Amino acid sequence: MQLLGTIVNSSTIIIGAIIGVIIKKGIPERINDTILKGLALGIMVYGISEGIKTGNLIIVLASLVLGGIIGEIIDIDKKLENLGTFIEGKFKNKGGNISQAFVTTSLMYCIGAMAITGALQSGLQNDHTTLYAKSLIDFVVSIIFGSTLGIGVALSGISVFIYQGSITLLAALLKTLLQDPVIREMTAIGGILIAGISLNMLGLTKIRLANLLPAVFIPIFIYMIYTFL
């Protein structure tokens, strides 16, 4: 079953988030705040470590510019905010900031080499080993995020299913596009966005990171153009 790895990954994120929300009830607010800020610092280091993996800074900068323009035109951030507001209403605001949790963890879980290569392996070889390993990591992280950011973390399981599932089902086509140099630049851009997450979590900035999401996919088109030239 091609989607087994993605189903397991999505399920572990949702289950982990629910466990985190349950645990949260027994954690004092000051401890919760300290944990959240500690996570933000860790996320910053992770994002920077991914960002410096770029092999071509010009591609990264061009992708951020083009992706930012596309994202602002579509206004992804506003659409996610509206979705979060709607869901928060359904939860009667008991689940924390749904939008922040959803965007933060969706970026964390979807952007990275394991998400891409694991989904490709599932689609091309029916090998779910990488996604199983990712599931274990994401499960632990989702418990922590669920205890600090709330029930919105569980929604990122849907993002993972759609994102990784799409790559898996389109693996034969995407294999020719997602070569190592492309994945490297996508990962680097993702790392920069993840570093931005930490700044927002610390309250230092209010970057509309969702509007920069298209930047992650721009390297695919840049390399396609380069190939045909």
d(CA 82, CA 85): 5
Which amino acid type is present at position 96? G
d(CA 78, CA 213): 13
Which amino acid type is present at position 71? G
pLDDT tens track of the chain, all 229 residues? 889 999 999 999 999 999 998 987 777 778 878 888 888 898 899 889 889 989 999 999 999 999 999 999 999 888 877 777 777 676 655 545 777 788 788 888 887 778 888 998 999 888 999 999 999 989 988 998 898 888 889 989 998 999 999 999 988 888 888 888 998 998 899 889 889 988 988 889 888 888 998 998 999 999 888 877 6
d(CA 44, CA 198): 5
DSSP of 173-214? HHHHH--HHHHHHHHHHHHHHHHHHHHHHTTS----GGGGGG
